[in-house]
Amino acid sequence: MATENESGVEVRLDLPYGGGPGRNLCLDAYLPAGAGPHPALFCLHGGAWQHGSQRQYQSWGPWLAERGFAVVAVNYRLTSDVSPAWPGVWEDVCGALDWMLAHASELRIDPARIGTIGDSAGGHMAAMLSLDERTAKLIRTVVGVYGIYDLPEWWRTTQPPRRTDDPVVSLMGRPYGEMKDEYESFSPYHRLQRLAAKPAAKYFIIYGDQDTRVPHPQSERFLALLRDKGADVRALPIPGAGHSWFTFVAGDPKRRRVDEEPNVTVAPELLDFLRKALVP
């Protein structure tokens, strides 16, 4: 379904890209007016790999497209659909990126100017895209919002009695002790530790300093390691903020539109970062 809003942004919802066990998962595209080609933002929702959808970018998508960025928000398989979701969830993310590149001309996207945005579990996979040898060369910027950057550490954090749903084991299939290599391979922090060269992407790491869901030291430790590796990095800690506020879901009071705080504080900083990194 394609529509156009009052600002000339073209909205294309539920475009099938072939992801998921049934090869029927979809993505949404928010495309700026004009011929382009436009810089593109590949957006990955959060939800502990258990819930959520590409619709969580329904507020950021039009806002960013109005400012000249093509936004592609992706749905990927969840552990509620199939457990373990790994490695299929990563195949979905990479497959959606491939689809976006294959349709770059139709979407009026510049394949040389791609950034990725992810929140929580989406932040984990956005960071992975910048550090995996198959995809790193494609990614110029990463915006991570209260991301899960150290997968083994978040597995330890989410063990009972703190949580009973064991989201990382649901994702991976077995505990860290039984899959050490696989966990660390799918962990941005560990990937970064092993990286010999300076990361090519530029990073903007945003987090609430009162986040206990994905404890804020996850972001702080990843930031410190990025700086140690010589990465181009910007940080935005949000005083008093917790988790889940970055993307919007109707009826969920924790989640906010772009015109609500803390996003009102984030928006100009995010736009400045993206323009400096992706706009000539």
Q: What confidence tens digit (pLDDT) does each residue in 105-149 have?
A: 999 999 999 999 999 999 999 999 999 999 999 999 999 999 999
Domain that holds residue 32: 2-278
Q: What local confidence, expressed as pLDDT, does residue 7 receive? A: 77
- Rounded CA gap, 15 and 98, in Å? 14
- How big is the chain by its Cα radius of gyration, in Å? 17
Burial 170-198 (b: 16+ CB within 10 A, else e): bbbbebbeebeebbbbbbbbbbbeeeeee
User: pTM here?
Assistant: 0.96
Q: Give the pLDDT confidence of 16-34 residue by residue, as tens digits.
A: 999 999 999 999 999 999 9
CATH code, 45: 3.40.50.1820
Judge contact between 42 and 28, C-beta under 8 A.
Answer: no
The pairing of beta strand 141-145 with beta strand 109-119 = parallel
Higher per-residue pLDDT: 39 or 162:
39
Does the pLDDT of residue 150 top 60, yes or no? yes
> Which is more confident, 270 or 4?
270
Per-residue pLDDT, averaged over 242-267, amounts to: 97
Output the pLDDT for position 173: 96
Report the number of distinct structural domains present in the chain.
1
Q: Where are the alpha helices (DSSP H) in the chain?
A: 60-66, 88-102, 104-107, 121-131, 151-157, 167-172, 180-185, 188-194, 217-228, 263-278
Q: What does DSSP assign to residue 157? A: H
Residue whose token pair is 């299929």: 88
The pLDDT of residue 66: 97
Q: Which residues contact 112 (CB under 8 A, 6 or more apart)?
A: none
| pLDDT at site 2 | 67
Mean pLDDT, residues 63-68: 98
The predicted structure's pLDDT at residue 81 = 86
Which structure tokens are listed for 216? Answer: 């804020």
pLDDT value for 71: 98
State the pLDDT at residue 4. 64
pLDDT at residue 1 tops 60: no
- Mean pLDDT, to the nearest integer, of 187-199? 96
- Higher pLDDT pick, 203 / 36: 203
Share of the chain above pLDDT 90, in %: 94
